[in-house]
Structure 1
Amino acid sequence: MTLPFGALRAFEAAARLSSFSRAGDELRVTHAAISHQIRHLEEWFGRALFLREKRGVRLAPEAKRFAEILSSSFERISIEAELLKLSTRSEITVACIPSIATRWLIPSLGDFLARHPDVTIRVVYAMAEQRLRETGCDILITLGADTSEGVVCQPLFSRAAQPVASPRYLERKGNFRQATQIATADLLHDETTAHWAQWLDKAGVPFTQTLKGPVFQDFNLLATAVIAGHGVALCPVELCRREIENGDLVVLSDVSILEHENYFLIRKASPQKSISAFSTWFKSVTNR
C-alpha cells in the first residue's frame, strides 16, 4: 500500500489547527472528509496520529515532528509555486511621448493585452529629447532616433506637418485652400511660432509682421484646440491620421515641413520575448 499523499494536506492542516472542523473550513471540505483522510493515513502508518478527546482532537506526540516537516514542506512548495507562476509572466515598461500615447498606444493597448495576457504593461510619459538609457524603460516611443550603442530604432511614421483645421472652423470662417488664405487664418502654434514662419516661407507667402495666435506647450493641447475649432494648426498628418480619416480634421494644403523627421520605437538590441512582441505589435498598429 503506497503512502496516501492526498491525505497529507488534511493531516497537516488538522495538526496545525488542532481541529478537524477548522481544517475542513481551510481546505473547503467537510469535517467528515478530513476525518476520513486522517483515518486513511493512520491505517497506512498503523498507528493513531491524533488523540480523540471529548473536546476535540490533539496531535499525538510521536506525530509532531512529521507534522512540522509537512508544514515546512508545504510552505516551501507554495513559495516555489508562486515563483514559477511569476516566471511565466512578464512586465515591460513603455515610455511614450504624450502625442503618440493618447492617439495610438492607449486606444489600441487592449488588443495587445488580449493577445498577450501574461504580459503586464506599465506606461509612463517620455520627453521628446530623452534617450532609452535615460528613461530606464524597456521601450521608448518618441520623436527622433536614438543613436546610442546597443539599441534598435524602428521608424513609425513621418513628422511631416501640414495645415489642418476642423470642419466647424471652416464652416464659420470660410474655405482656406490657398497659402495666402491660410496665412490670414487664426494660427495655432506648437511650442513656437517658428514652424508657421517656416511653412509660410516654404509656401511662398511673404510676411513681415510678428505671427500672432496662442502658443501651446504640449501637442495634445494644440490638437484639442484645433479640433475644437479655434484655428488652423500645423500637425503631423501621420500622427493625426485617425482624426483626419474620421473627419475631425481637414488637411488644407499639400505644402509640408519637418518631412525629414520621424517618430521611432526604440528598444534594446537583444530584448526579451515580450519586448519583441510589443515592438512588432505596435509597428503593425501604426501601419494599419
Structure 2
Amino acid sequence: MKELREIAVSGQHLLVFEVAARHVSFTTAARELELTQPAVSRSVRQLEEALGVPLFIRRHRAVELTEAGGVLYEAVHGGFSQMHQVARRLRRITHSHVSLLCSDTHAHWWLMPRLSDFQERHPDISLRVQVIKRYIDLEPAGPEGMVLGIWSGEQPRPGYECAEIALEEVFPVANPAFARTLDISDDLSSLARQRLIHEDQKGLPTVTWREYFAAFGLRQDAELPGLRMSDYSPVLVAALAGQGIALGIGHIVGPLIDSGLLVRVGSLVHRTGLRFYLVWPERTPLAPQAELVKDWLIGTIPGRTGGGAGVAAQGRGTGR
C-alpha cells in the first residue's frame, strides 16, 4: 500500500512520463506540455526514484525506454485513454443540449423556418445552433455523441456518416419588382452588365458569378460590377430589397420563390456537382437526443421520412 500511495501522489509525474514515453523524447514532451526540458527530466527522475526502477536509458541527445518503462507506459497510456473516454461520457451526461454546426446561410434561411416544428415535436430537447465560418472537426466541438453538422462537398470527409440534403443548383434570382425592369431572358452577355450582387466568402466554398457564366461558356476577364457582400445572408437580403440580381442556391431560395418574395431570372441552372449533407461522427454512437434531432432533420428533407443510419462517407468535404 505504501508503494501505491507514492504513485498516487505522483499524478503529474505519470502524465509527464506518458508524454515523454509516447514521443521517446524529453524535448518533444516539454514542447507538448509547455514545460522546459529540464523540468521534464526532473519529473521523470522523481518518478523513477518513487518506483525504484529506471524507466529510460539516457544517451547523448536521445533516450529510450527500459523494459520497466515499456511496461509502465502501456499501463499509464491505457489508463489515461480510459479516463479521457469517461470524461467525455460525463460531459455528455451533464450537457443536455445537442449542437448543430452549420453556416449562417443554413442557420438563417434553411433551418430557422423549420425550428417551430422541431420545438413542437421535441420541447424537451435543447438544440444549440453554432454558426461556423470554416470547416472544423465535429467530435471536439461538443460532448460525445451530441454534435451534428451540415457540410457541402463532393462527399463528406472520411470518418463521418451522412444524409444528403440537396444537390447544389445555382441560378439568378431577384426581387419581382426589380425583375420586371429586366428584359434579358437567358442572354448572359446582357445579364453580366446588370446590377449583380456578389458573395466574397473567404472561409467556405461559394459559386461566383464568374464561375456561373463560365459554366455556360461565357468568359469574363474583367471584374464584374455590382455589390459585394462578405456572406451569403446579406446577398439574399440585398436581392429581397431590390438591390440587384443574386445567385440563388436552389434549396435555400426555393421557399422564397414559392412565397413570391423572389423570382428566377432566366432559366439556366448551374449544377456544380457538390452536395449538401447532414453529417455526424461515424465511430461515436449518437446520444438519444441527437438521434432524434438527426431523424427530425432528415424528415424535413423533401422525399425523406427520417430514420436510418446514414451512409458512411469517404472523400473530401467542406463546410458551407
Of residues 88, 97, 105 in structure 1, which corresponds to 2:103?
A: 97
Structure 2 match to 1:246: 259
Equivalence for 1:271: 286
Root mean square deviation, CA, Å? 2.7
Query: C-alpha displacement at 1:158, in angstroms?
Result: 1.9
- Alignment map for 1:186-265 (pairs within 5 Å): 186-191=195-200, 195-257=208-270, 259-265=272-278
Q: 1:148 aligns with which of 138, 155, 158?
A: 158
- Equivalent residues of 2:164, 2:275 under 8 A apart: yes
Structure 1 residue 124 corresponds to structure 2 residue 137: no
Within the candidate set 176, 194, 207, 2:184 is matched to 176
Instruction: Please list the CA deviations of residues 157-195 of structure 1 after superposition, one character each: whole Å capped at 9, or x if unmatched.
Output: 122211111112123x32331223312211111116972
1:282 equivalent in alignment to 2:291? no
The 2-side partners of 1:209 and 1:90 are apart by 53
CA distance in 1, matches of 2:281, 2:291: 9
> What's the counterpart of residue 166 of structure 2?
157
Q: Which has the higher contact order (CA 8 A, sep 6+)?
A: 2
Unaligned runs of 5+ residues in structure 2 are 1-92, 304-320
AA at the equivalent of 2:290: I
CA contact (8 A) 1:199 1:257 kept: yes
Q: In 1, Cα distance between the equivalents of 2:266 and 2:287?
A: 43
Q: How far apart, in 1, do the equivalents of 2:125 and 2:207 lie?
A: 42
Specify the code of the residue in structure 1 equivalent to 2:248.
C
Within 2, Cα distance between the matches of 1:248 and 1:154? 29
Query: What count of residue pairs does the alignment treat as equivalent?
Result: 201
Superposed CA deviations along residues 199-236 of structure 1, whole A, max 9, x for unmatched, are 22222335443212122111001010111111111121
Q: Distance in 1 between the 2:194 and 2:212 partners?
A: 14
TM-superposed deviation, 1:255: 2.5
Relative to structure 1, the CA distance from residue 91 to residue 176 in structure 2 (aligned partners, 3 Å threshold; closer, same or farther) is same
Deviation string 1:250-275 (CA, Å, 9 cap, x unpaired) is 11233333521122111133212221
| Amino acid across the alignment from 2:162 | C
C-alpha deviations, 1:113-160, integer Å up to 9, x for none?
Answer: 2212221112211224233235336111233343232x2121111222
| Distance verdict in 2 for CA 1:278–1:174, change over 3 Å | same
Distance 1:119 1:248 in 2: 33
Partner of 1:286, secondary structure, is: coil
Letter in 2 for 1:211: L
SS of aligned partner of 1:176: coil
TM-score (norm 2): 0.57
Asked if 2 retains the 8 angstrom alpha-carbon contact of 1:143 and 1:262, the reply is: yes
Give TM-score, length-normalised by structure 1.
0.62
SS in 2 for 1:238: helix
Identity %: 23
Q: Which amino acid aligns with 1:99?
A: T
Amino acid at match of 1:155: E
Structure 1 CA distance, aligned partners of 2:269 and 2:185?
14
SS, match of residue 253 in structure 1:
coil
Matched, 1:111 2:117: yes
